[in-house]
């Protein structure tokens, strides 16, 4: 799995180690294949794997994966951080419904004018991997808020 090899190389580059817990968490991210909280990743490992690990290890590993840009991280409408594999998905934006909290994925091409404008007017480099947009989804909108 090239993702694990990449991770291993990144770790070695800083004198860090590829432990079984880190492998397990990376595998869980592949299996979940969607935005997941640290708690959800933890639960998934508890159920699907014989390996045991601690929730604090999950947090520490996710932080590490984030610094290597292996995972991207957004905050849902409930304020929790949610993670997903960065390279596993085409670049996309998350549409987070402020009522039901569900997350939808939208393409990024229509954002190009905005990205250019942010760069030209503010020197700001928009991070597409961490982009989440609040609003109302179709159902909640129809339900009248």
Residues 6+ apart with CB under 8 A from 78: 101
CA 35 → CA 64, 65, 82, distances in Å?
17, 14, 5
What is the radius of gyration, based on Cα positions, of the chain?
17
User: Residues 72-111 vs DNA: string with x where CB under 7 A?
Assistant: ------xxxx------------------------------
First to last CA, the chain: 44
- The option from DNA, a copy of itself, none interacting with 126 (CB < 5 to 8 A, set by class) reads a copy of itself
Residues 31-60, mask of contacts with a copy of itself (x by CB under 8 A): ------------------------------
User: Are 48 and 36 within 8 A, CB to CB?
Assistant: no
- Binding of residue 13 to a copy of itself (CB under 8 A): no
Among 1, 5, 9, 19, binds DNA (CB under 7 A): 19
Spatial contact of 44 and 30, defined as CB atoms under 8 Å apart: no
Per CB under 8 A, residues contacting a copy of itself are 75, 79, 81, 93, 95, 97-98, 104, 106-107, 110-114, 116-118, 121-127, 130-131, 133-138, 141
């Amino acid at each position: 799995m090239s993702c694990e090899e990449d991770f291993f190389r990144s770790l070695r580059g800083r004198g860090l180690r590829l432990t079984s817990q880190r492998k397990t968490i990376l595998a869980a991210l592949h299996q979940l294949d969607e935005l997941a909280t640290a708690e959800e990743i933890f639960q998934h490992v508890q159920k699907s794997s014989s390996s045991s690990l601690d929730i604090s290890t999950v947090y520490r590993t996710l932080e590490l994966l984030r610094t290597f840009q292996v995972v991207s991280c957004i905050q849902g409408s409930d304020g929790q951080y949610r993670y997903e594999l960065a390279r596993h998905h085409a670049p996309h934006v998350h549409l987070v419904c402020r009522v039901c909290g569900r997350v939808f994925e939208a393409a990024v091409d229509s954002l190009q004018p905005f990205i250019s404008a942010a760069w030209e007017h503010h020197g700001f480099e928009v991070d597409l991997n961490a982009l989440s947009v609040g609003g109302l989804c179709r159902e909640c909108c129809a339900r009248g808020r």
